[in-house]
Amino acid sequence: MKKATCKQLAGACDEIITGNTPEEMAENSKKHAMENMNDEAHQQAMQAMMKMSEEEQQNWYKNFVDSFDSLEDA
């Protein structure tokens, strides 16, 4: 299992997000953001993500998948 901070995943805090696969980590990151939607920093991070074009989002996700193996083990 790998770990990354919320911030490393385009979020807003230092909470640790874990996952066995990039998909799982992205899902956990989304869940964490949803749970913190009353926090302004997380709202802004989510909005910044939504503002990206589909291509930008895909590029971001591709980079995330490519760097997944180099993340720290949880």
Write out the residues near Zn ion by the rule CB under 5 A: 6, 11, 13, 15
Output 15 or 24, the one with its CB closest to Zn ion.
Answer: 15
Output 4 or 55, the one with its CB closest to Zn ion.
Answer: 4
Edge-first strand order for the sheet with 2-5 is 16-19, 2-5, 72-73
Least separation in angstroms between CB 17 and Zn ion: 8
Dihedral sign for Cα atoms in the order 44, 13, 35, 63: positive
Determine the Cα–Cα distance for residues 69 and 53; give it in Å rounded to an integer: 26
Which residue lies nearest Zn ion, judged by its C-beta? 6
Least separation in angstroms between CB 6 and Zn ion: 3
